[in-house]
Amino acid sequence: MIKYFLKRCIAILPVLLVVSILAFAFVHLLPGDPARMMAGDDADAATIEMLRQELGLDKPLPMQYFTYMGKLAKGDLGMSLRTKIPVYDELRLRYTPTMYLAMAGMAWSVIIGVFFGAVAAIYNGKWQDYTAMLVSVSGISVPQFWLGLLAIQLFSVHLGWLPVAGYTGKFSELILPAFTLGATVAAIMARFTLSAFLDVLDEEYISTARAKGVTETLVMWKHAFRNALIPVITMVGLQFGFLLGGSVVVETVFAWPGLGRYMIEAVAVRDYPVLQALLLLYSFHFVFINLLVDMVYALINPEIRYE
Amino acid sequence: MKQKKTPFSIFWHKFKQRKTAMVAGIFIVVLVLTALFAPMVAPYDPFETDYSLSMMGPTLDHPAGTDVYGRDILSRIIYGSRISLAVGFTSVFVGALVGVTLGLISGFFGGFLDGLIMRTSDVLFAFPGILLAIAIVAILGPGLINVVVAVSVFSMPTFARIVRGSTLALKESLYVKAATSVGASKKRVMFVHILPGTLGGVIIYFTMRIGTSIITAASLSFLGLGAQPPTPEWGAMLAESRDYIGVADHMTIFPGIAIFLTVLFFNLFGDGLRTALDPKTK
């Protein structure tokens, strides 16, 4: 078991290396001279030259990469071009709101999605199945930003039940953004749970359980459901990445002060150090989430563990 | 008289049973026709402003109401279908073209090339599409063409994987071995013998992907990274409506319905195709 975990941990090192090179290369992929861009349009030649030296852009690329990684190890992500505040401090402030929102979105969507998927599987071919899957395919087809706008329109403006937007720590402010963010994932989870559940129902141990007279409820919830959950758990991990991506749109709709909205602001003013840091931060999250998924999967599925 | 069973007739027989997919297919045809003949179908010029009609709710003259500048929203939605369909279709097509080629090379030659292509697609795959698209637009700058490029890039890895998988299987099949043994060139084996066999999976994913691409492109326009005003693009129209929530609800409702229904019908159609092409279903 420990050997498997160690092997998985070592396997992500090259991926992290590639990701860090990509994030480093990001600024160099941009059309034009990074120093000129960072200095702004009205900078004179001397200022640009000074900035070039300050950023080490006059040195060979591999040297620049090592300098960049060295700074990164110390938590130095550079300065935001727009606010002149260290990017690290900016990100730290926005990290919690994004994670808070993503966790809330994940929590409700997994519970609801898995529940409806299981119901659809148990009532396979009946109206419960069709209804759940109709709702689910609609959930996949609805654009998140529109769902968010409609939710604001109905619940905040017309009914006045919930705040339009904001982040002051009240639970009521979390409801609409978390609902919007989780809607697509809930739909995906429902579809995925349905197919995982139906696959399990084809297994021989289900027939065995039925044959020996176990009640149908017990077969469904004890034998089938628990086994269907194994692939579902993998899916939860993968969907977390999707959720972080979706938070860019949802945070913009609800003026949520997280990483996603910050990213859009940074794109708009071409704040490259910020974008570089965000790309790195997001990629590291995805790599580690995938690692975590693999490990949880090994923990619950002995077939993989002893391979 | 007994009809001969061709693969197509089997497919068609199964597909016809899926009522929702049939309805979805008809809707898609109507939508494509609407987009093609937009100037004839749209009741007004989508750019014509009339401040005396600013933000009017739905009426008989303007079934979907008007926007801040008094432009007819229905006409803008009809013209917007051209953009959404073109962006959705082109981006998936480019993604499929590159992805299928890479997948074919990867599966056929194996070895170093395979490793390189698959590891790269793993990295792309780990990244949620919209973030990747935003990063690409950040490099290339905002605009519709760049959105197409961005959305194509994140469609590629899945196409590559699907085709690689079926290529690996087909490479070992008897008929491919037979072709090789009678001296068919590698190029001929790849494109004439293997490629057609991989297309079933590609077509299914192609259809499913159009919906996702339309949503992503509309999201980018909503975020201000895609189509710019006054272009009648659905996502951009919704961005304009944001400031008037509660004042002019119809501005938010109608363009959103257009995106939702279009994507929904592409997804239902894709679902139907998948079931009909799946040899396990009857």
Q: What is the pLDDT of residues B253-267, one digit of tens each?
A: 899 999 999 999 999
Average pLDDT rounded to a whole number, residues B159-176: 87
Which residues of chain B lie closer than 8 angstroms to A285, CB-CB? none
The counts of H helices and E strands in chain B are 12, 0
Q: What is the pLDDT of residue A307?
A: 47
pLDDT at A250: 92
- Put simply, whether A149 touches B (Cβ < 8 Å) is yes
Are A287 and B126 in contact (CB < 8 Å)?
yes
- Give the residue from chain B lying closest to A19, CA to CA: B123
Give the pLDDT band of residue B152 (cuts 50, 70, 90): very high
Q: Are B241 and A149 an interchain contact pair (Cβ–Cβ within 8 Å)? A: yes
Residues of chain B above pLDDT 90, percent: 26
Question: Dihedral sign, CA of A154, A160, A162, A165?
Answer: positive
In this structure, what DSSP letter does residue B142 have?
S
Residue B226 pLDDT exceeds 90: no
DSSP A161: -
Q: A78-98: buried (b, 16+ CB within 10 Å) or exposed (e) per residue?
A: bbbbeeeebbbebbeebeebb
Residue contact B268–A137, C-beta within 8 A: yes
What is the tens place of the pLDDT at every residue in B114-144?
Answer: 888 887 887 777 677 788 888 888 888 888 8
CB contact under 8 A, A268 and B222: no
Cβ atoms of A263 and A278 within 8 Å: the answer is yes
Encoded tokens for B111? 């070895």
Mean pLDDT of A100-128: 88
CB-CB neighbours of A161 under 10 Å = 11
- Tell me which of A26, A29, A141 to substitute to probe the interface with B (most B C-beta atoms closer than 10 Å): A141
Nearest CB to A264; choose among B211, B223, B268: B223
Dist. CA B216–CA B137, nearest whole Å: 12
Banded pLDDT at A229 (limits 50, 70, 90): confident
Instruction: For residue range B175-204, list pLDDT tens digits in order.
Output: 888 888 888 888 888 888 888 888 888 888
Determine the angle formed by the axes of helices B195-222 and B234-241, rounding to 10 degrees.
20
Least Cα separation, residue A306 to chain B (angstroms): 25
B242 interaction partners in chain A (CB closer than 8 Å): 149, 253
Whole-complex ipTM? 0.85
Residue B99 confidence (pLDDT) above 90: yes
Q: What backbone torsions phi and psi does residue B118 show, to the nearest 5 degrees?
A: -70, -40
Q: Which residues of chain B are within 8 Å of residue A149 when distances are taken between CB atoms?
A: 238, 241-242, 245, 252, 256
Q: Does B105 touch chain A (CB under 8 A)?
A: no
- Nearest Cα of chain A lies from the Cα of B210 at a distance, in angstroms, of 11
Question: Using the beta-carbon criterion (under 8 Å), do A275 and B135 form an inter-chain contact?
Answer: yes
Q: Is the pLDDT of residue A174 over 90?
A: no
> Which pLDDT does position B279 carry in this prediction?
65
Do the beta carbons of residue B80 and residue B237 sit within 8 Å? yes
- The reply to whether B123 touches chain A by the CB within 8 Å rule is yes
Choose among A138, A245, A253: nearest Cβ to B131: A245
Helices (H), A55-170: 61-73, 87-122, 127-141, 144-151
CB atoms under 10 Å from CB of B165, counted, come to: 15
Instruction: Give the model confidence (pLDDT) of A47-73 as tens digits.
Output: 788 777 777 777 777 888 888 888 888
- The pLDDT tens digits for A24-47 are 887 777 666 667 766 766 777 787
| Confidence label for A238 from pLDDT (cuts 50, 70 and 90) | confident
Contact B153, A297 (CB under 8 A): no
